[in-house]
Amino acid sequence: MTQRRDAQMPRDASPDTVGSLLMISLHGYVAGSPELGKPDTGGQVVFVMELAKRFARLGYKVDVVTRRFEDQPEEDRINDNLRVWRIPFGGRDFIRKEDMHDWYGDFVSNLLAAIRAQNIRYDVVNSHYWDAGVSGQKVAEELQIPHVHTPHSLGWWKQKEMQSLGKDDGEGNYRFEERIQKEFVMYRSCDHVIATSEHQAELIEDAYDLPAEHISMIPPGIDEARFTAVTPNELERIRARLEMTQNDIYVVGRAATNKGYDLILKAMPYLIEMQPDARLVLAAGANSDKDKELLESWQQLAGELEIGDRVDWRGYVADEDLADYYRAPGVFALPSRYEPFGMTAVEAMACGTPTVLTTRGGLFEQVTFGEHALVADPTRPCEFAAMINMPMQHDWLRHKLAVEGARFARRTFGWTGIARRSAALFEQFRGKYLTPDMVDAEV
């Protein structure tokens, strides 16, 4: 296997020469303070906005471009260096990401017209998810600037996962054939691909037949100032306010089959045998009718497993309570069938909560088992329950995971360091398409 490009920040590198960044993230409710839990609004939106804020803090001019719909304003001005800029296309109603395929041409035309009307000059396009990637490539080609793409998830892998679950309606709902073909072409057309884990990088290389040197791995980051541990006295107050205890296992995310909520429910009977007081606190954000149907199916499953009284269905968690919810339980669990990275697990670790990760994602490859976190296959309920039980059963292990997990999360995934590594990569491509007349114009 060819060695991938080093995405670390060189010791003597300065990213300050990249002047203006165009970041594109089309789906969901993208905003300076995003409404997490709303349809298509979760980890990716957090990723994009936190990265953009750090780029702005490092001195770049940054436009985060997204879709304008409903009653949203044209822009959110975050600070002098950063704005969220909304471009209308596809009407005024919300459109889920799987149904945007036919509108990308309108987005590209409208964005290019707006860029030229405002006489804006960008140095690099950085797109997020395949919908923005396909659009971003056309914009980059038109503007003659580099395009660096971050996939977040892969059509090929998602299709395989759905097939393994015996779901035959994936093509009608997700148009995988079209998505995978467009990803294939876009990965070859853009200047570079940033994977968020080694596992994802290997999948892109193998499933999409992309040269390894065309891919770098840069993980997501966390807000180091926000996600921290608290003193024992403060923890007691948090638990009292949120009505949670050290016997609780906390799981959070949007309502989606890949999040594995049915799997954690199936693990609970095994865990209760070992920890009779164990309880699951499940915060699954459900807004659409389809989300609510999923939630009802999980509640029915809990009844069939006779654990209905051991599940606390919290629903949407307000943004200002996220960190305290991570701090309050005895264990945080990530039971996803497929998770490109696992941002919630990193945030929980940074808050000092022992964490059990899924083996069906990228993060588990970066942790040291038994020191930073525990890992298990969520499709094996007994195994997953056993790993959750370990820090609940052994105080020494709980304490070690709490301390070492937080140290690992903060040092490895702080957003400023992630932004510097990304900027160093952008700098390698800046000026790649300059023509003599463009050089004269810059002078």
8 Å CB contact between 262 and 298: yes
Tens of pLDDT, residues 383-408: 999 999 999 999 999 999 999 999 99
Among 16-25, 162-171, 172-181, 269-278, the range with the most confident prediction by mean pLDDT is 269-278
Beta carbons of 208 and 385 less than 8 angstroms apart = no
pLDDT (0 to 100) of residue 380: 96
Please indicate, yes or no, whether residues 51 and 30 belong to a single structural domain of this protein. Answer: yes
Q: Tokens 């409710």 sit at which residue?
A: 29
Tokens linked to 3: 């060695």
> For residue 305, what are the contacts with CB-CB under 8 A and spacing of at least 6?
265, 266, 268, 269
Residue 6 lies in a domain: no
Based on the structure, what is the number of domains in the chain? 2
Structural domain contains residue 270: yes
Share of the chain above pLDDT 70, in %: 92
Indicate if 177 and 290 belong to the same structural domain: no
Residues 186 and 98 in one domain: yes
Residue 168: inside a domain, yes or no? yes
Gyration radius from the chain CA atoms: 22
Would the pLDDT of 168 be above 60? no
Reported confidence tier of residue 14, pLDDT bands at 50, 70, 90: very low
In a domain, 428, yes or no: yes
Q: What is the 3-state secondary structure (H, E, C) of 173-226?
A: HHCHHHHHHHHHHHHHHCCEEEECCHHHHHHHHHHCCCCHHHEEECCCCECCCC
Q: How confident is the model at residue 417 (pLDDT cuts 50, 70, 90)?
A: confident
Q: Is residue 83 part of a domain?
A: yes
Could you tell me whether strands 82-88 and 75-79 are parallel, antiparallel, or unpaired per DSSP bridges? antiparallel
- Read off the DSSP letter of residue 81: T
**SS3 at position 342:** coil
Instruction: Read off the pTM.
Output: 0.66
| Distance separating alpha carbons of residues 53 and 58, to the nearest angstrom | 9
Mean pLDDT (whole number) for 406-428: 91
Which single residue is written with the structure tokens 């209308």?
A: 88
Residue 435 pLDDT grade (very low, low, confident, very high; cuts 50, 70, 90)? low
**Cα atoms found within 13 Å of the Cα of residue 257, Cβ hemisphere only:** 13
Residues 305 and 388 in one domain: yes
User: 5 in a domain, yes or no?
Assistant: no
Are 81 and 113 within one domain?
A: yes
Q: Quick one: 103 exposed, middle or buried, by C-beta within 10 A (0-12, 13-18, 19+)?
A: middle
Q: Which single residue is written with the structure tokens 């960008």?
A: 122
Are 423 and 16 in contact by the 8 Å Cβ rule? The answer is no
Contacts of 86 (CB under 8 A, 6+ apart): 30, 65, 66, 67, 68, 72, 73, 74, 75
Same domain? For 295 and 373 the reply is yes
Banded pLDDT at 17 (limits 50, 70, 90): low
Phi, psi of 329 (to 5 degrees): -80, 170
Is residue 86 located within the same domain as residue 188?
Answer: yes
Domain that holds residue 420: 15-221+416-442
Asked whether residue 58 falls in the same domain as residue 144, the answer is: yes
CB-count burial class (<10 Å; 0-12, 13-18, 19+) for 240? exposed
| Other CB atoms within 10 Å distance of the CB of residue 331 | 27
Chain center to CA of 90 = 25
- pLDDT score of 243 more than 70: yes
Rounded mean pLDDT, 171-178:
76
pLDDT at position 172 is: 58
Residue 342: pLDDT band (50, 70, 90) is: confident
Q: Which tokens is 159 given?
A: 């299709």
**Tokens 């059963």 sit at which residue?**
393
> Where do the H-state alpha helices sit in 31-152?
43-57, 104-117, 129-143
pLDDT at res. 10: 39
Are 298 and 174 in a shared domain? no
Model confidence at 11, pLDDT cuts 50, 70, 90, reads very low
pLDDT of amino acid 264: 97
pLDDT attached to residue 2 = 47
Nearest in space to 421 (alpha carbons), one of 431, 430, 413, 433: 413
CATH number at residue 277: 3.40.50.2000
Let me know whether 153 and 240 are in one domain: no
Same domain for 214 and 328?
Answer: no
Determine, yes or no, domain membership for 7: no
- Is residue 8 one of the residues assigned to a domain? no
295 and 173 within one domain: no
Q: What is the pLDDT of residues 270-279, one digit of tens each?
A: 999 999 999 9
| Identity of the residue numbered 309 | D
